[in-house]
């Protein structure tokens, strides 16, 4: 079985990277071209432990 390993180096503190990866607002901005929306649960800000978000988008 083939194994693919991808490493990305980011010149930023780990805390900043973690917050950006759980940012609903940043995700919405990055997916504007699909008209993606958060429609239920946490719909903005930083998603936290035991929180959920439901997305709606047009990908095809």
pLDDT digits (tens, 9 = 90+) for 6-45: 999 999 999 999 999 999 999 999 999 899 999 999 999 9
Answer whether residue 60 shows pLDDT above 90.
no
Task: Evaluate whether 22 touches 49 at the Cβ level (below 8 Å).
Answer: no
Answer whether residue 59 shows pLDDT above 90.
no
Task: Evaluate whether 46 touches 38 at the Cβ level (below 8 Å).
Answer: no
What Rg, from alpha-carbon coordinates, does the chain have? Answer: 14
The whole-angstrom separation of Cα 23 and Cα 17 is 10
pTM of the model: 0.77
């Amino acid at each position: 079985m083939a194994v693919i390993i991808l490493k990305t180096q980011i010149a930023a503190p780990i805390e900043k990277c973690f917050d950006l990866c759980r940012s609903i607002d940043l995700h919405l901005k990055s997916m504007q071209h699909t008209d993606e929306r958060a429609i239920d649960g946490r719909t903005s800000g930083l998603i936290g432990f035991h929180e959920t978000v439901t997305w709606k988008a047009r990908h095809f």
